[in-house]
Amino acid sequence: MNNPLLTVENLVKYFPIRVGFFQRRIGKVRAVDGVSFDIKNCEIFGLIGESGSGKSTVGKTLVRIYKPTGGAVWFKGRDVTKSTKENLRFFKKEVQMVFQDPKSSLNPRRSIKSTLEDPLIVHRIAQNGRDRERIIGNLLQMVELSPNYMYKYPSALSGGQRQRVAIARALAVKPSFIVLDEPTSALDVSVQAKIIHLLQGLQREFHLSYLFISHDLSLVRTIARRTAVMYLGRIYEIAPTEKLFTSPLHPYTRTLISAVPVISKEEQEAKPMKQSRGGEIPSPVNPPNGCAFHPRCSLADKICSQQLPELVEVIRGHFVRCHHVSFNMPSVKQ
Amino acid sequence: MKNKQRVLSSVNSEFTTTQWMVLKDKIGRAWYRFRRNSISITGGSMVLLVILLAILAPYVTPYPQHAGAFTDFLNAFQTPSKSHWFGTDEIGRDLFTRVIFGYRISLMLAVIVLGISVPLGVILGLTAGYFGGRIETIIMRTTDVFLALPPLVMALAICAAFTPTIERAMLAIASIWWTWHCRLVHGITRSIKTEEFVQASWVIGDSHFRIIFKDILPNCMSAIIVKTTLDVGFVILIGAGLSFLGLGTQPPKSDLGTMISYGAQYLPTKWWPTVFPSFAILFLILGFNLLGDGLRDMLDVETEGI
Amino acid sequence: MGNKYILEIRDLHVHFRVYEGISRVIDGISLYIAKGERVGLAGETGCGKTVTMKTVMGMLKIPPAIIPCGEVYLNGRDILKMSPKELLQIKGTEISVIFQDPMNALNPVFTVGEQFYDVIRFAQQRFSNGGNLSRERIRNKMIAALKEVILPDPERIANSYPLELSGGMRQRVLIAMALVNNPKLLIADEPGTALDVTIQAQILNLMTKLVEVKGISILIITHNLGVIKETTERVYIMYGGKVMETAPTNVLFRNPRHPYSQGLLSSVPRLTGGEIAEGIPGTVPDYITAPSGCRFHPRCNYAMPICAQKEPPLTMLESDHYVACYLYAKQGGQNE
């Protein structure tokens, strides 16, 4: 039980940039540049970051939409980066994904039934057509939709309903781990609340683990047990969620939290001081040397532009990647 | 838990849909969009008329025997009259009948040519677009080579090299025509490949074959249908052109192009052997073009769920 | 009436003709914006805020849209009664829009400078019949506008194509383009939604500072309540094509009265953590067979029989705080 369900070791994913008629390679996008973390059984792990941080790429590389350029991924003790056929078959039954945009994650030309039948047919879960219909009906009820919905097309469904179907599709193979890539970003706040409750309920009922990727910090605070902060392809801080938000150690984390638009005075007062000097987020094609945050960081030093700091466990369970963080931590509210 | 049950029961009592109802609704909506557009109705009617005439040719024409070998020199070059609506040609055959039978040949030409080239082009396009890499390069460069050859010239070459028959003409055109569909489908496939529902299918573990035919192809269908409808006009035109040059159907079969060719010598005094077949082609092509336009308008909106 | 309000919408109804019948998207809304005020229009998908925006901008396509009644006064003149020519006069000059997605709002095949030039020259043509500004003057105007939105190296930006700029920079360019002709009213459609949180914070800050300095009224249309809280002084909560509650922003967020506002605010995840409410049961209404009476009543935990029969009037609770709900109609207060 103590062994983590998923261990990611130094995951790397680069995308080549090709131009011209002959598709010459002129550079690469360092989307994920050495990411390591692990996720335990029945845990919701949050991954936050802005655009260019690589968080979506991490998710998609984990589910093998992209092949990793380097690094290793261990799932239930198996090294799944070695893509043998048996490995893949096993992996695809255990690990599933829910995508961000409900409009594009369901094929507009296929009925809901056809979409949900896919995993059942591919993994030979049902005996015949009637059996499949029964299972699909059950899946839809699990996500609080009437089984009648199976004959409809995605265009007849609202965003929240489509996302429920996407969740049902992920559940069809009875996975133990689901990657959720911004599952509620495209939804209204009241619909989001319902979907979040649904996800939490399903997690408890089926003992699932989630990798919850989002740019909505408040949402991750509510749902995740542990959270990692990514910036330009690397993780800069990992901590139990509560600790991350009440005492963020990394300057970027503090900047990020301070920038969130909030709706109450209590939240406003709980924010840390931002520690950045403004400026744009650099592109992952040409990330800054050393610590990638140093051009925007108000604590930046000469060493920051030369040497990439290590991800170090400064307090039990709390990891930070920064030259200026030591064991004597200043308090948050300044 | 109580809340969940409350939601479920409200959701269940909202409505009951069946597969049949959804299908009826889909067809109803499509028809609504189609008939809103007068262009598509006009085109559709024209096409329908021609197809019916062509199928029922032996029964609706006044002189079905004139379609083949028949001579009646006494009645040659009759002006259009009540007994011969389009007049007669130089051998005395009723032009109206020959035009309708000519429609048969034109439509058959279109069906065979497109029946070969469209599936071929679509499959090659899907393969090239989906797999990328070397396969894509090979297929698409070959397509480029074929596209460099004008279809009419190619058809001429093939027909002139061997004895010209209508079958050879059809094969000649088909051998070029697949390239357009290949390119069209290739483009669509490449853009759809990056959509999240295709990625979702990967994550589920679908085989490539399954993804291509169940996920990608349905999204290409509307473009293929529209293009095929518009293609009919072009193919018929090329076929008529070949016949006009003497390389297509051989007499005594009546092909619109051949009729125009023979009639052209007698212009301008005896205008009807040329004018009526020309208008017949115009009518047919115009019909298909309008229909294609209308279909495009109708199918474009479909995915927006209105 | 009079000119004390920059924008005043009175009892606007907007319907659409669709396959199934008539869709009554907006069924009677009224709102106003005073000079220099920052007002928010908040609501979720399908509440009708985008249609409202398009109506105010004069961007609605009249069939299939139908406006059976209502008036929209911009600076005292009714937009709905204007001819297309008159509308053209005010678009971009008196009223200006910043659209949602900076990637789509700029034409990728023209440089920023060329698009800016068009914006300025178009406005010139409508006002000074004849006296056009020289290219030189237009360029100066543009550089000044870009400097105002704190873009470093405006010359280089003006010569760049939109794809060469980051999302934040593009948004600033859009803001500059919207403000260059000194509009009286600025409409911001989901500002910053397409941007990252840190950049969004900068942009919102910039926008609020600029409109304050210039005395421009701004209407912020969004579903993001955090944005509303940080940028507006007064807010209208829309649902089902009607205004449910309106109040000064701080007042409403501290103490929402309408059940829908309460449900909405309790669904927002908090930075300080804690459970979020279970959302609001049910779904957005169908505008073709809209619920009778109060459009929210099928989803309301406090629904009473009268809610299904008659539409609740806007009841005044305090100055500037109105609720459309029978829970408060009984408890005194004047009816609007």
What average pLDDT is seen over chain A? 87
What ipTM was predicted for this assembly?
0.83
Q: Which residues of C touch A242 (CB under 8 A)?
A: 273
Q: Which residues of B touch A149 (CB under 8 A)?
A: 17
Q: Which residues of B touch C282 (CB under 8 A)?
A: 10
Residue type, B283: F
Structure pTM? 0.83
> What does the block give as tokens for B81?
């009259």
Looking at residue A95, what is its pLDDT? Answer: 92
Q: Does A41 touch chain C (CB under 8 A)?
A: no
Ordered alpha helix ranges (H), chain A: 55-62, 85-94, 102-105, 112-122, 129-142, 159-171, 189-206, 217-223, 241-246, 251-258, 265-270, 302-306
Asked if residue A332 has pLDDT above 50, the reply is no
Q: Does B31 touch chain C (CB under 8 A)?
A: no
Q: Does A101 touch chain B (CB under 8 A)?
A: yes
Asked if residue C317 has pLDDT above 80, the reply is yes
Looking at residue C335, what is its pLDDT? Answer: 44
Nearest residue on chain B to A194, alpha-carbon basis: B4
Class of CATH domain A6-224: alpha beta
* Tens-place pLDDT, residues A247-276: 999 999 998 898 888 888 888 888 888 777
Inter-residue contact A227 to A220 (CB < 8 Å):
yes
Q: Mark yes or no for CB contact C198/A259 under 8 Å.
A: yes
Name subunits touching A (3+ CB pairs < 8 A).
B, C
Inter-residue contact A13 to A34 (CB < 8 Å):
no
Q: How far is CA B251 from the centre of its chain?
A: 25
The string over A263-293, giving b where at least 16 C-beta atoms fall within 10 Å of a residue's C-beta and e elsewhere, is: bbeebbebbbebbbeeebbbebeebeebbbb
Residue ranges covered by each domain of chain B: 27-62+104-302
Inter-residue contact C218 to C211 (CB < 8 Å):
yes
* Tens-place pLDDT, residues C93-116: 788 888 887 777 888 888 888 888
Residues of chain A with CATH 3.40.50.300: 6-224
Q: Which residue has the higher pLDDT, C3 or A190?
A: A190
- Which of A4-13, B80-89, C23-32 is the least confident region? B80-89
Burial of C291 by CB count in 10 Å (0-12 exposed, 13-18 middle, 19+ buried)?
middle
Looking at residue C128, what is its pLDDT? Answer: 59
With pLDDT > 90 as the criterion, what percentage of chain C qualifies?
16
Q: Which residues of B touch A99 (CB under 8 A)?
A: 196, 199-200
Q: Which residues of A touch C300 (CB under 8 A)?
A: none
* Tens-place pLDDT, residues A69-89: 999 998 888 888 776 777 788
Q: Which of C19, C281, C282 sits opposite B29 (nearest CB)?
A: C19
Asked if residue C331 has pLDDT above 60, the reply is no
The distance of C300 to chain B (nearest Cα, Å) reads 13
Distance (Å, rounded) from C-alpha A155 to C-alpha B225? 21
Q: Which residues of chain B have pLDDT under 70?
A: 1-18, 251, 300-306
Q: Which of C18, C19, C278 sits opposite B3 (nearest CB)?
A: C278
Looking at residue A264, what is its pLDDT? Answer: 84
Confidence of residue C332 (pLDDT cuts 50, 70, 90): very low
Q: Does B3 touch chain A (CB under 8 A)?
A: no
Asked if residue C299 has pLDDT above 50, the reply is yes
Average pLDDT score over residue span A278-293: 81
Cβ neighbors of A126 (< 8 A, separation 6 or more) are A120, A132, A134, A135
The CATH number of the domain covering residues in C2-94+185-329:
3.40.50.300
Helical packing angle, B217-244 and B95-131, nearest 10°:
140
Q: Mark yes or no for CB contact A191/C202 under 8 Å.
A: no
Q: Does A3 touch chain B (CB under 8 A)?
A: no
The CATH number of the domain covering residues in B27-62+104-302:
1.10.3720.10
- Bridge partners, residue C5, by sequence: C34
Distance (Å, rounded) from C-alpha B212 to C-alpha B185? 12
* Tens-place pLDDT, residues C214-273: 889 999 999 889 889 989 999 999 998 899 999 999 999 999 999 999 999 999 998 888
Distance (Å, rounded) from C-alpha C235 to C-alpha B27? 44
Name subunits touching C (3+ CB pairs < 8 A).
A, B
CB contacts < 8 A (B, C)? 10
Residue ranges covered by each domain of chain C: 2-94+185-329, 107-182
Looking at residue A244, what is its pLDDT? Answer: 92
Cβ neighbors of B63 (< 8 A, separation 6 or more) are B93, B94, B97
Q: Mark yes or no for CB contact B306/C282 under 8 Å.
A: no
Inter-residue contact C204 to C230 (CB < 8 Å):
yes
Burial of C331 by CB count in 10 Å (0-12 exposed, 13-18 middle, 19+ buried)?
exposed
Average pLDDT score over residue span C308-325: 87
Asked if residue A22 has pLDDT above 70, the reply is no
Looking at residue A53, what is its pLDDT? Answer: 87
Element (H, E) at C96: strand C95-98
Looking at residue A333, what is its pLDDT? Answer: 36
Q: Mark yes or no for CB contact B32/C18 under 8 Å.
A: no
- Which of A183-197, B96-110, C112-126 is the least confident region? C112-126
Q: Does C276 touch chain B (CB under 8 A)?
A: no
Q: Mark yes or no for CB contact A221/C201 under 8 Å.
A: no
Q: Which residues of A touch B208 (CB under 8 A)?
A: none
